[in-house]
Amino acid sequence: MKKILFTLFVLLSTLTLQAKVYATVEGIDIVDEDLEMIIKMSPAGQMIMAQGGLKSLPKEQLKEMIDAAIDNKLFIKKAFADGVAKDDQYIRMIKKIKDDLALDIYLKGLIKKIKIDDKELKSYYESHKNDFTAKVDERKARHILLKDKKAAKDIIKALKKAKDVKAEFIKLAKEKSTGPSGKDGGDLGWFDASRMVPEFAKAAFALKKGEYTKKPVKTDFGYHVIYLDDSKKKGTIAKFKDIKDQLKKKLHSIAVKKLFDDLRLEVRKDAKISYK
pLDDT in tens, 24-48: 999 999 998 888 888 888 877 777 7
Q: Using CA atoms, how far apart are residues 71 and 162, in angstroms rounded to an integer?
A: 58
Residue 238 has pLDDT above 50, yes or no: yes
Phi, psi dihedral angles at 146 (to 5 degrees): -130, 155
Question: Quick one: 243 exposed, middle or buried, by C-beta within 10 A (0-12, 13-18, 19+)?
Answer: middle
Following CA atoms 14, 15, 18, 22 in sequence, which dihedral angle do they give, to the nearest 10 degrees?
A: 40
Q: What string of DSSP letters covers 91-125?
A: HHHHHHHHHHHHHHHHHHHHHHT----HHHHHHHH
The fraction of the chain above a pLDDT of 70, given in percent, is: 93
Cα 40 off chain centre by: 19
SS3 content of the chain, % helix, strand, coil (to 5): 60, 15, 25
Residue 97 has pLDDT above 90, yes or no: yes
Residue 173 has pLDDT above 70, yes or no: yes
pTM over the 0.75 mark: no
The pLDDT assigned to 19 comes to 67
Residue type for position 210: G
195, 219 Cβ separation under 8 angstroms: no
Q: Using CA atoms, how far apart are residues 255 and 247, in angstroms rounded to an integer?
A: 12
Residue 14 has pLDDT above 60, yes or no: no
Residue 158 has pLDDT above 60, yes or no: yes
Angle 47-50-56 from CA coordinates, rounded to 5°:
85
Mean per-residue pLDDT, 105-110: 96
Q: Using CA atoms, how far apart are residues 193 and 136, in angstroms rounded to an integer?
A: 9
Confidence of residue 18 (pLDDT cuts 50, 70, 90): low
Residue-wise pLDDT for 112-144, tens only, equals: 999 999 999 999 999 999 999 999 999 999 999
Structural element, H or E, at residue 243: helix 240-268
Buried/exposed code over 80-100 (b: 16+ C-beta within 10 A; e: otherwise): eeeeeeeeeeeeeeeeeeeee
